[in-house]
């Protein structure tokens, strides 16, 4: 399968890893290898690499249809991007990339090309340019139909395993500024896909605690003055972040979260630059927007998107809804509310995600938490979700604790080490559950159980299974039914391969399966 000059670049089975593709039975990513050093042009090495491994890519007869689209040089590597061409037309999102280190050694390749045996015959077109533009305009919201056509292109559009001959139309509107990209079937004019390109790209910038200044500094004592009261966090406690999905209106509202319910005057930055400190007006809004948006994007990464999306509209948040040292999610208003007593709750991202945990449960299972055990499970899941999301961003000392900034004062008075509001590594079992006890205390039994599940299964698998388990629960559920739902979710998602380990965890925690 290799050419004479390409033999050194041939990858032998078992000496690399792959990420399988969804439709073509060819790997979409090849990694965990490094070829021998080569003193040649990056384009030449990249093409030889693809030729040498054509069978692996599924491109034995398709090498000639790859054209170098771009060469990018970063600090430590060179990245060659090949564009796939078929019958003279570009394949939308059809590409192969080859990545080389500074010694000319290939160490990674990505493949979105369509194997030749799946390529259709000649490009079939029954709809002309003018009719295509007319149909593209008609597919837009009414106010956008006066947009000017700035680009038309004939290309192949992948639709699962099928390549469709298509038109791409770019429509521009100057006031308000919008840019729509519409893909239409060249045979019949049917809309294949469309999106507002500028809406997708609207981003801002801001400063946040990630998750809080205690974990950023690695020592809560650095944030206390001589009277053991919190001091203003230093600049090193902040992180510059990109604010995704903003609607471009100058406030912190976007496709996944909005701070519109916030009392008093909302922060407004027409240039979308929200670089604020914790003592400045609007910082808590930036915290809530960024961290809720990031968490919801993580849910999408786990698979909860499109028809499976947990939220169908932006999550609403009031970042200063009470002067009490308390925060909550209201299933009636479908809104997060954060308090400003002592340390502002919205200054701690783990508090933010704890409350988002309640919103997630309510979105999946309305009115979750109406029994004593369900209420404890709600608090336990909120703690778990926050701890799991931020575990990798915290020093080891703080990884089993949650809300070490928001709960700093309570943690100091409680004598815990390190001080925090709660922990997720309690040794308590179901035998320690108190029917008339506080749900936050009882909830630490459930959060510790979930934390143990995560330790055995890993973050993403555990998070996905635990989220999935909620779909079979009700508002009056209990620990035993929650445990059974997790086992069922593992059977549905993982073929039951973790069932023995899960049952061992529940057995140790004295939680039966009903």
CA angle 338, 344, 347 (to 5 degrees): 90
Give the model confidence (pLDDT) of 325-384 as tens digits. Answer: 999 999 999 999 999 988 999 999 999 999 999 999 999 998 899 999 999 999 999 999
Own/partner pairs for 188-196, CB < 8 Å, 24+ apart? 188/126, 188/127, 189/127, 189/131, 189/132, 189/135, 191/135, 191/136, 191/139, 192/157, 192/159, 192/164, 192/166, 193/157, 194/136, 194/139, 194/140
Orientation angle between helical segments 439-457 and 499-508, nearest 10 degrees: 150
Cβ burial of 282 (10 Å; 0-12, 13-18, 19+) is buried
Confidence category of residue 187, pLDDT binned at 50, 70, 90:
very high
Whether the per-residue pLDDT at 6 is higher than 90: the answer is: no
Whether the per-residue pLDDT at 19 is higher than 60: the answer is: yes
Q: Give the pair of three-digit tokens for residue 312.
A: 């169908």
pLDDT value of residue 341: 87
How many other CB atoms are there within 10 angstroms of residue 428's CB atom? 16
Every domain of the chain with CATH number 3.10.170.10 lies at: 204-364
Q: Give the pair of three-digit tokens for residue 47.
A: 């093409």
Cβ burial of 57 (10 Å; 0-12, 13-18, 19+) is buried
pLDDT value of residue 3: 39
What's the topology of domain 372-508? Neutral Protease; domain 2 (1.10.390)
The whole-angstrom separation of Cα 27 and Cα 25 is 7
* DSSP at 279: T
- pTM for this model (two decimals): 0.65
- Give the contacts of 397 (CB within 8 A, at least 6 positions apart): 218, 418
Task: Give the residue-averaged pLDDT of 124-134.
Answer: 94
Whether the per-residue pLDDT at 106 is higher than 90: the answer is: yes
- By DSSP bridging, strand 257-258 and strand 315-322 are parallel
Every domain of the chain with CATH number 3.30.310.160 lies at: 4-116
Beta bridge partners of 339: 322
CATH architecture label of 204-364: Roll (3.10)
211 prior amide bond cis, ω within 30: yes
Give the model confidence (pLDDT) of 256-269 as tens digits. Answer: 999 999 977 899 99
Confidence category of residue 144, pLDDT binned at 50, 70, 90:
low
Confidence category of residue 5, pLDDT binned at 50, 70, 90:
very low
Instruction: Using alpha carbons, select from 97, 98, 96, 115 the residue that is nearest to residue 58.
Output: 115
The whole-angstrom separation of Cα 98 and Cα 44 is 11
194 versus 178: the higher-pLDDT residue is 194
Cβ burial of 343 (10 Å; 0-12, 13-18, 19+) is buried
pLDDT value of residue 2: 34
For domain 129-200, the question of CATH label 3.10.450.40 is answered with yes
CA angle 401, 403, 408 (to 5 degrees): 100
Task: Give the residue-averaged pLDDT of 408-437.
Answer: 93
Every domain of the chain with CATH number 1.10.390.10 lies at: 372-508
| CB contact at 8 A, 425 and 416 | no
The matching CATH number, chosen from 3.30.310.160, 3.40.50.300, 3.30.1490.20, 2.40.50.140, for 4-116 is 3.30.310.160
């Amino acid at each position: 399968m290799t050419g004479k000059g390409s033999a050194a670049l041939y990858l032998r089975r078992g000496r690399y890893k792959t990420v399988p593709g969804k439709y073509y039975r060819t790997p979409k990513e090849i990694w965990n290898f490094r070829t021998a050093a080569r003193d040649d042009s990056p384009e030449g090495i990249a093409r030889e690499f693809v030729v040498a491994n054509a069978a692996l890519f599924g491109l034995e007869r398709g090498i000639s249809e790859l054209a170098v689209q771009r060469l990018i040089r970063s600090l430590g590597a060179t990245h060659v991007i090949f564009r796939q061409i078929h019958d003279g037309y570009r394949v939308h999102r059809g590409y192969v990339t080859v990545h080389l280190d500074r010694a000319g050694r290939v160490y990674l390749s990505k493949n979105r090309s369509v194997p030749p045996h799946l390529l259709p015959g000649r490009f079939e077109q029954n709809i002309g340019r003018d009719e295509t533009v007319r149909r593209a305009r008609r597919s837009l919201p009414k106010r956008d139909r006066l947009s000017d056509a700035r680009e038309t292109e004939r290309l192949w559009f992948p639709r699962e395993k099928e390549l469709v001959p298509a038109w791409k139309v770019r429509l521009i509107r100057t006031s308000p500024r919008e840019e729509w990209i519409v893909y239409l079937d060249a045979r019949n004019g049917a809309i294949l896909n469309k999106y507002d390109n500028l809406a997708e790209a609207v981003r801002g910038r801001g400063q946040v605690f990630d998750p809080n200044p205690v974990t950023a500094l690695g020592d809560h004592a650095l944030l206390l003055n001589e009277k053991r009261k919190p001091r203003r966090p230093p600049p090193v406690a902040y992180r510059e972040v990109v604010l995704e999905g903003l609607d471009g209106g100058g406030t912190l509202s976007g496709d996944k979260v909005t701070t519109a319910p916030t009392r008093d005057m909302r922060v407004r930055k027409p240039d979308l630059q929200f670089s604020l400190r914790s003592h400045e007006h609007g910082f808590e809004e930036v915290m809530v927007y960024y961290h809720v948006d990031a968490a919801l994007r993580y849910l999408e990464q786990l698979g909860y998107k499109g028809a499976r999306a947990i939220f169908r509209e932006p999550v609403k948040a009031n970042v200063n809804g009470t002067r009490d040292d308390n925060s909550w999610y209201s299933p009636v208003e479908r809104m997060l509310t954060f308090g400003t007593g002592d340390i502002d709750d919205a200054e701690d991202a783990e508090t933010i995600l704890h409350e988002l945990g309640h919103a997630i449960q309510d979105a999946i299972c309305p009115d979750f938490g109406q029994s004593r055990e369900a209420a404890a499970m709600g608090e336990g899941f909120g703690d778990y979700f926050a701890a799991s999301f931020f575990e990798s961003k915290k020093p080891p000392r703080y990884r089993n604790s949650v809300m070490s900034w928001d709960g700093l004062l309570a943690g100091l008075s409680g004598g815990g080490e390190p001080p925090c509001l709660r922990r997720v590594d309690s040794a308590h079992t179901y035998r320690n559950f108190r029917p008339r006890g506080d749900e936050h205390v009882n909830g630490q039994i459930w959060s510790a159980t979930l934390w143990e599940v995560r330790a055995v299964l890993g973050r993403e698998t555990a998070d996905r299974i635990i989220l999935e388990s909620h779909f079979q629960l009700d508002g009056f559920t209990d620990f035993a039914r929650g445990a059974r739902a997790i086992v069922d979710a593992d059977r549905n998602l993982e073929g039951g391969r973790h069932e023995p380990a899960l049952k061992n965890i529940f057995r140790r925690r004295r939680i039966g399966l009903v």
